[in-house]
Structure 1
Amino acid sequence: MNVKILTGLVLILFVLGANAQTKKVFDDVEISVKNATVNTPNSDFASTTDNGKLIYNSEVKVEGGKKKETYLLYDVFSTQIQPDGTLPKRGEWNPVITTKIQEGPMTICQATGEMYLTQSYEEETDVENIVFKKENVRLGITMFKRANGGWTEIGQFPFASKEYSMAHPTVSQSGDTLIFVSDMPGGLGGTDLYYTVRKGGEWQEPVNMGDAINTAGMEMFPNLQADGTLFFASGGRGGKGGLDIFYTEFKNGKTGEVLTFDNDINSAGDDFGFVPGPDERYAYFGSNRNGGQGGDDVYIVLPEQYKIDLLVLSTFTEKPVPDAKIEVQNEKGKVVEEYMTDTAGRTTLKLEMGERFNLLATKLGYYDKQQEINLSPEGQFANQEEVLYMDPSHRLKGQVVNIMGDDPIEGAMISIKRDGVIVDNALTDADGYFKADIQPDRQYLVSADAENFLGTDIEFSTDGMEPGELFYYFQLYPLDAGTRIGINNIYYDYDKFNIRPDAARVLDRIAEALAKYPDIEIKLEGHTDCRGTDEYNQKLSERRAKATLEYLVRKGIDKSRIEAVGLGESQLVNECGDGVDCSEEKHQENRRTVFEIMKSKVTKKDQTE
């Protein structure tokens, strides 16, 4: 970059673009940097891309002044990008904007059909000498609208002033945020980056991007991409040379950590204006490094490798699939790389450019899945983020309802434990349904919880289960006054009143509900089977009720909130009365505890609504 250009912002006609590259494409991969064929002995640099074309600036000779002397001005040209990222030979180009004033870098918003172009003020361009020797020529931003295959000028961008320059804009994908460079008063250095947001059709007052971006030196040629990555050049952050290319994240007016490239993109010279090509399989930037054809040249970044963020999802739940093995096979079927997805179902592939690959994803509980990645020039190029869907061989589906009327419960939390470890969570939809992937030959505990309801669990095993789907129906008791909760699996051994382990888990549920809802008061009833005398069973049921109460008290529940009564064999739930021959399982159904909510601030819903 011409050193004299650095003395006045007007003469810093920097490159930038609306399209952009993400750091994973060009970082941490092998690249080659090549001088582009469009370069001339004068200054040339890329500006942006537009519908498969590279828009670039090039110095041309112009006659002007009374003595008809020739001087150099930047005009805007376009050239078709080849499938491999290279450019046609010099001469195979078309003018875009050519006037008698300086045209600098531009940005194009595809969504709005708007172009923002750096230009010098017309009345300051009629000079006798070479324009680059004229100091302090100010720059502004001119707005255009796409029309009839060309561009129609619609006016100057707001906030312009003859006292300072505004230049090299870059626009967000939506067209409602514009970042630009200015030396307006109040900045941190020679030139700073500013942004403005469009609200209600009006651009708001520009905001300096602060010391997270700007330094005491010069920051310029910003390039904002769709995912929020912002590229810019800086001479105040050290690096390899005068100007280096840096990048950060810019979203909602906030910036992230500022990073730079660790490869040959930056050099001992000035490097600026990073412009990615279509599909981000290559990029362009400007540099005055040694070995060029002119003052500034367009250089092409051609990655030898391509990085792809792969996300593996279940076709059944659309949730991430962790610990999936990904084999990368070349066209001959040889495995060249292996990867594993993380807990978020992601992994980063690093593949050689110019080849076709086949991905093979495998995991227990899923059918094998193959997917092609075509990095050849003639193929359908891969995205930087690829999604691979795997079909689960075993699936769990269920519905959670209110036991009082079987109304579906939306937003119930489903927690899934596999072999004692929580492996998944789900929320029920508006109809109370949920679904999850499960694996064969495993033990599962599935819990269902909802606000103002008593949660419950089910256990099952997939040992020996054929591929297919399991369905479970969860009925939850509402925690309303008057609700009687008949817990079927708080059982006692015959003639015993100690709490069995299987009963403890259910009692823990009761304790959790009482702890979460401190206004609830309950009555618990102890019941026995018919064996033994009525008097003995009455006392046994009282001891069972007391044992249950003491268990809840040990869990931290205030004793005053619990009334415990024994009802002996007076309320059998089946036909197993005195003199009836019943199995042990039948008798056990009668050895139980029933809870009734006596008081609660939880409002009971009208079941007819």
Structure 2
Amino acid sequence: RGFFTSNRDGGQGYDDIYKFLETKRLLCEQELYGEITDLETSALLPDAKVSLFDSRFNLVSVTNSDEKGNYSFNVECGKTYNVRAEKIEYTTKEQKVTVDDKRGKTHLPIALEKSTCKVAIGDDLGKCFGIKMIYFDLDKYDIRREAAFDLEKILDVLSQNPTMKLDIRSHTDSRQTFKYNEILSEKRAKSTINWLIKNGVDPSRLTGRGYGETQLVNQCADGVKCSEEEHQLNRRSEFIITGL
């Protein structure tokens, strides 16, 4: 609600006073800001790529830290976001933040650790670079949003290591028949490979196959009662280095 003056036509005097009522809710915004630093030395890191994702892992915005390591985003009040910082020779890091429900600023500093991982052919890329396994929903082979969030880290590693090659190994849990799971895991391997190719990876750098339920990571074999969380650990894709 407010007032303003105007000498528009149709008034009753030279400068008339009008009142108004705003019926549309005004957007509440915050500034989400911080510094990208070296975890060990606390040195400021310029030109780090900083990506902002919403709570459902949809990409909202991308920026780079300035010469003093600073970054900032305009965000909506009261919402939860995921912020990813990445820089060559450093391990990519994500942090979740919920901003205040009032106008103002939210400070989120991010410290990156130097990547000291030395890989060899046969190593699991995820274990070395701190990348989660890519999990799938039951009976599904499409890439979930949170899985795409982690696959982007695979892209980052591949871009920094242009001669690296990967073998995508997809697995299922023990539910359904052996043959069904074999076919499903093949679809999951192809789905993962296609996502990487669609996002710029040369197909010659990727191979893959499905292993069905032959390589479970826990006790959840046929006939064993397990929770949904335990079964999901078996529905995964792994990234094995086959060339450097």
TM-score by length of structure 1 reads: 0.27
Q: Measure the CA separation in 2 of the matches of 1:594 and 1:400.
A: 29
Contact 1:417 1:424 in 2 (8 A): no
SS at match of 2:137: coil
Letter in 2 for 1:527: H
Contact 2:100 2:106 in 1 (8 A): no
**Structure 1 residue 471: Cα displacement:** 7.9
The partner residue of 2:125 within 465, 485, 493 is 485
Amino acid in the other structure paired with 1:421: S
Give the superposition deviation at 1:594: 1.1
Q: Kindly indicate whether the alpha-carbon contact (under 8 Å) linking 2:99 and 2:106 is maintained by their aligned counterparts in 1.
A: no
Structure 1 segment 13-52 matched on structure 2, within 5 A: none
CA distance in 2, matches of 1:454, 1:598: 21
- Picking from 199, 202, 209, the partner of 1:558 is 202
Where does residue 506 of structure 1 map in the other structure?
150
The verdict on how the C-alpha distance between 1:526 and 1:479 changes in structure 2, with shifts beyond 3 A counting, is farther
- Counterpart in 2 of 1:383? none
1:461 aligns with 2:114: no
Equivalent residue number for residue 50 of structure 2 = 415
The one-letter code of the counterpart of 1:446 is: V
Secondary structure (helix, strand or coil) at the match of 1:536 reads helix
Q: Kindly indicate which of the two structures has a greater share of residues assigned to helix.
A: 2
What TM-score, normalized to structure 2? 0.60
How far apart are residue 414 of structure 1 and its match?
5.6
1:567 aligns to 2:211 (yes or no): yes
**What is the aligned partner in structure 1 of residue 78 from structure 2?**
441
Q: CA deviation at 1:540?
A: 1.8
Letter in 2 for 1:564: G
Q: Which residue of 1 aligns with 2:177?
A: 533
Relative to structure 1, the CA distance from residue 588 to residue 464 in structure 2 (aligned partners, 3 Å threshold; closer, same or farther) is: farther
Contact 1:400 1:408 (8 Å CA) reproduced? yes
> Aligned partner of 2:120: which letter?
A
Aligned to 2:232: 588
What are the within-5 Å matches in structure 2 for residues 59-458 of structure 1?
Answer: 411=45, 413=48, 415=50, 417=52, 420-422=60-62, 425=65, 441-452=78-89, 455-458=92-95
2:235 partner amino acid: R
More strand by share: 1
For residues 83 and 90 of structure 2, what CA distance do their matches in structure 1 show?
16
1:464 positional shift = 5.9
Q: Distance in 1 between matches of 2:52 and 2:163?
A: 31
Paired-residue identity, %: 31
Distance between the aligned counterparts of 1:529 and 1:503, measured in 2? 17
| Distance in 2 separating the partners of 1:489 and 1:462 | 29
Please say if residues 79 and 98 of structure 2, whose CA atoms lie closer than 8 Å, have aligned partners that are also in contact: yes
Give, in whole Å, the separation in 2 of the partners of 1:576 and 1:397: 44
Residue by residue, what CA displacement relative to the aligned partner does 1:454-486 show, whole Å, maximum 9, x if unpaired? 635344323569x99878786768473344133
Deviation digits for residues 251-295 of structure 1 (CA, Å, limit 9, x no counterpart):
xxxxxxxxxxxxxxxxxxxxxxxxxxxxxxxxxxxxxxxxxxxxx
Which of the pair has the greater relative contact order for Cα pairs under 8 Å at 6+ separation?
2
What secondary structure does 2:65 align onto? strand
Residues 459, 576 of structure 1: alpha-carbon distance in 2 compared, 3 angstrom cutoff: farther
Task: Give the 3 Å change call, closer, same or farther, for CA 522–568 of structure 1 in structure 2.
Answer: same
Q: Could you say which residue in structure 2 is the equivalent of 1:496?
A: 140
Q: 1:544 to 1:597 in 2, by over 3 A?
A: same
Uncovered stretches (5+) of structure 1, i.e. residues with no partner: 1-362, 366-393, 402-406, 601-609
Post-superposition CA distance 1:491-534 (Å, at most 9, x none): 21211112223222332332343344321111111121221233
Cα separation, partners in 2 of 1:549 and 1:477, compared to 1, 3 Å: farther
Partners of 2:49 and 2:85 within 8 A in 1? yes
Higher radius of gyration, 1 or 2: 1
Matched AA of 1:576: C
Aligned counterparts of 1:564 and 1:409: Cα–Cα separation in 2: 40
For residue 409 of structure 1, report the CA deviation from its aligned partner: 10
